[in-house]
Amino acid sequence: DVKVTQSSRYLVKRTGEKVFLECVQDMDHENMFWYRQDPGLGLRLIYFSYDVKMKEKGDIPEGYSVSREKKERFSLILESASTNQTSMYLCASTHRRAAGANVLTFGAGSRLTVL
Amino acid sequence: DAKTTQPPSMDCAEGRAANLPCNHSTISGNEYVYWYRQIHSQGPQYIIHGLKNNETNEMASLIITEDRKSSTLILPHATLRDTAVYYCIVYGNKLVFGAGTILRVKS
């Protein structure tokens, strides 16, 4: 079964800490995405990557950075965590877009609490 | 990206068909309609997508109106495990998730 694996389901961090959220996919997908999900706001795109070492800002990149050193791994980094970054973080991947072929496979999510 | 409008919630009796509507009146000719669902505490799961023609797979059917301004997702025999938030998305440059419809399947 194809999978997108997020390293941590639940994390609790303190304000100002550096936080790494890891995502690994085993489907040889070119495209990878990081979303955050908050009640009433739906899923919002933070960053995405179309290839190794490539990254593009999504709708809410402020306070985040990403790293894509290997095709299968896409990391989300919170340089200095703040309480307003408490959220559910979802990683997803898909093959490079062909006509109609944008079926995202999501991980189970990482629920981050910043105290 | 085209916007979608979905009812905030719906109820369905177990074993009956669940019909979830979606309006996407600003859809462009080359934009696909995608449906995902999210069961509590899990990541969204792909269900089905289509461009112009009706589509069916093992999970659901997708009916798209001829003018493509709306669509309906049909779960033919809803079960309690189909209780979830269902998202209708029109793909432009990226997948944008709205608030979705909370479907409650009741026994």
Nearest to B51 among A42, A100, A106 (CB): A100
Please compute the mean of the pLDDT values over residues B29-47 and round it to a whole number.
Answer: 90
Q: Which of A20, A1, A23 is nearest to A11 (CA)?
A: A20
Using CB atoms, pick whichever of A45, A58, A103 lies closest to residue B46: A103
Instruction: From chain A, pick out residues whose CB is under 8 angstroms from the CB of B51.
Output: 100
The larger pLDDT score, comparing residue B2 to residue B55, is at B55
pLDDT score for A42? 82
Residues of B in Cβ contact (< 8 Å) with A107: 43
- Residues 6 or more apart whose Cβ sits within 8 Å of residue A25: A2, A3, A4, A5, A32, A72, A74, A91, A93, A105
Q: What pLDDT, on a 0 to 100 scale, did the predictor assign at position B2?
A: 61
- The 10s digit of each residue's pLDDT in A18-69 is 999 999 999 898 999 999 999 888 889 999 999 999 999 999 999 999 999 9
Q: Which residues of B touch A35 (CB under 8 A)?
A: 97
Within 8 A of A105 by CB-CB distance, chain B residues are 46
Name the residue among A42, A45, A105 with its Cβ closest to that of B99: A42
**Residues in A 12-41 with any Cβ partner in B closer than 8 A:** 35, 40
- Selection from A64, A80, A62 nearest residue A16 by Cα: A80
pLDDT at B90 over 90: no
Using CA atoms, how far residue B59 sits from A24, A65, A89, B35, B75, in Å, is 26, 36, 26, 11, 7
Alpha helices per DSSP H over chain B: none
Which DSSP string do the residues of A47-84 spell out, in sequence order? Answer: EEESSTT--EE-S--TT-EEEEEETTEEEEEESS--GG
Using DSSP bridges, classify how beta strands B101-106 and B9-13 pair: parallel, antiparallel or unpaired.
Answer: parallel
Give A66-88 pLDDT, tens digit per residue.
999 999 999 999 999 999 999 99
